[in-house]
Amino acid sequence: MKTLYLMRHAKSSWDFPELSDHDRPLNNRGRKDAPLMGRELASREVTLDLIVSSSAVRALTTATLVAKELEYDTEKIAVEEEIYKASKQELLSIIKNIPNQFDKVLLVGHNYTISELANMLSPEMVPTMPTAAVVCLNFNCGTWAEISRQNAANLFFDYPKNH
């Protein structure tokens, strides 16, 4: 059994036009929403074996804030530069190459690819994910290479405005 949590990064700031898109930080709402979603995951008794994040500042900050709420060692967050500009097929390839010792994985990425990937894998339609949204997919298989819509169950979809 493999469990995948797909999360769109929290709300980012546009207040620093001199920064590249990759280097944009979270805004105030994002800095509140990311730990909120971490607490919501904790309330669902979520435990993670691995967090994988885009290298973009807003995604890595989101991953770090969620990790702290889940008491996950932030030093163990795997940063994947490829996530930043990945297509849904490239994201799927990254996931399928996760070592099989990890059963419960959170991937923090960007729209529209994170929503597209969720819909490619989920047996049920997932709405376009707002910032800091999380979808949880459970796969009835033993390896990440085997995950597909055919062996998936959509356990939940949650986002900050639900709370």
Q: What is the pLDDT of residues 118-134, one digit of tens each?
A: 999 999 999 999 999 99
Q: Are 27 and 132 in contact (CB under 8 A)?
A: no
pLDDT at 75: 97
Q: CA angle, 137 as apex, 132 and 138 as ends, to 5°?
A: 150
Distance CA 72, CA 64 (A): 9
Which residues are known binding-site members?
58
Q: Can you give the CATH number for the domain in which 91 is found?
A: 3.40.50.1240
pLDDT at 70: 98
Distance CA 70, CA 40 (A): 10
Output the six-digit token pair for 110: 């960007």
What is the length of the chain? Answer: 163
* Amino acid occupying residue 63: A
| Other CB atoms within 10 Å distance of the CB of residue 28 | 9
pLDDT at 117: 97
Output the six-digit token pair for 44: 């669902």
Distance CA 73, CA 62 (A): 14
- pTM, to two decimals: 0.97
- Spacing of C-alpha 124 from chain mean position: 18
Rg (CA), the chain: 14
Which residues are known binding-site members for substrate?
58
* Amino acid occupying residue 129: M
Domain containing 114 equals: 2-162
Q: Which helix (H) or strand (E) element contains residue 8?
A: strand 2-8
Number of compact structural domains in the chain: 1
| Other CB atoms within 10 Å distance of the CB of residue 78 | 15
Residues 73-88 have pLDDT tens digits of: 999 999 999 999 999 9
Residues 15-40 have pLDDT tens digits of: 999 999 999 999 999 999 999 999 99
